[in-house]
């Protein structure tokens, strides 16, 4: 099922105010560390973050490249970018810019970025191959692209709901193939070990993160009770070794 750009934008606009809660509830710092490290982000670089949302990856990139470098962050949701801009203004960062644009048609000349990153965007792109091709076009020769996506959920009930909502959960080799087809080379992947629940997380953050999960799955707040119980019950039916759901890092070179 393909979801149109307008419908998808409406979704992200609606969840912008509580999107950051998923990062507050879980310890996803290994994701940020992996993206920065594997994309070889370093001082003085010009880095593009695609589908930046509230700027979590983009702001981390800006810290890494320093004042002589820059981080350009693209998203098509104004409310998301407004939150990202607010974070930047409240920090000491002056080398980050947030741009309203469609990731399928990036507003940049070819061969201008030293690295390109994208976290949890490909599952929601209407044309993942077009976005991958655009990421390659704007990358400099020998620069790296670092993409993070979740592995396929181990619970069919949840997988089916996500598919119905227009979320594309990739087989690992499927996304590798997309990156290879547009011309990225030397592609490799690795799973990132994360913690889905911090020890000191607030109930307010948990509630907001649950609202986010429900929204992107096409459900309403009143569906929360049965959904999370069903999800928990389905997980318990799985063998212990399969009760995981990890992000996968995809890295390639132009």
Residue 216 gets the label, from left (phi > 0), alpha (psi -120 to 50) or beta, of alpha
Q: What's the pLDDT score for residue 1?
A: 41
Domain count for the chain, please give it: 1
* Confidence (pTM): 0.95
**Residue 245 is part of a domain; what is its CATH number?**
3.40.50.150
Domain range for 145 is 5-253
pLDDT tens profile 217-245: 999 999 999 999 999 999 999 999 888 89
Nearest-angstrom CA–CA distance, 251 and 122: 14
Cα 115 from chain centroid (whole Å) = 16
Asked whether the predicted pLDDT for residue 43 surpasses 80, the reply is yes
And the tokens for 97?
A: 């810019």
- Per-residue pLDDT at 92: 87
60-91 tens-digit pLDDT: 999 999 999 999 999 999 999 999 999 999 99
Strands (DSSP E) along the chain, which ranges?
Answer: 46-50, 70-75, 96-100, 113-119, 139-150, 185-191, 247-253
């Amino acid at each position: 099922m393909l979801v149109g750009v307008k419908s998808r934008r409406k979704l992200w606009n609606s969840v912008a105010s509580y999107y950051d809660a998923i990062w507050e509830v879980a310890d996803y710092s290994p994701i940020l560390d992996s993206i920065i490290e594997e994309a070889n982000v370093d001082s003085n670089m010009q880095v593009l973050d695609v589908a930046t949302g509230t700027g979590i990856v983009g702001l981390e990139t800006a810290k890494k490249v320093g004042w002589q470098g820059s981080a350009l962050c693209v998203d098509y949701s104004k409310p998301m970018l407004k939150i990202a801009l607010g974070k930047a203004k409240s920090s000491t960062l002056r080398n980050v810019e947030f741009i309203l644009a469609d990731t399928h048609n990036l507003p940049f000349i070819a061969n201008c970025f030293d690295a390109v990153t994208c976290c949890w965007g490909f599952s929601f792109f209407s044309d993942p191959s077009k976005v991958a091709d655009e990421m390659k076009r704007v990358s400099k020769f020998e620069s790296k692209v670092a993409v993070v996506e979740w592995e396929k959920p181990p619970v069919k009930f949840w997988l089916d709901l996500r598919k119905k909502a227009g979320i594309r959960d990739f087989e690992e080799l499927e996304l590798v193939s997309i990156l290879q087809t547009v011309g990225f080379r030397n592609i490799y992947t690795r799973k990132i070990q994360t913690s889905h629940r911090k020890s000191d997380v607030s109930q307010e953050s948990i509630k907001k993160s649950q609202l986010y999960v429900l929204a992107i799955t096409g459900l309403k707040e009143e569906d929360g009770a049965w959904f999370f119980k069903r999800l928990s019950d389905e997980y318990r039916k799985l063998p212990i070794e399969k009760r995981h759901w990890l992000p996968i890092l995809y890295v390639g070179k132009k």
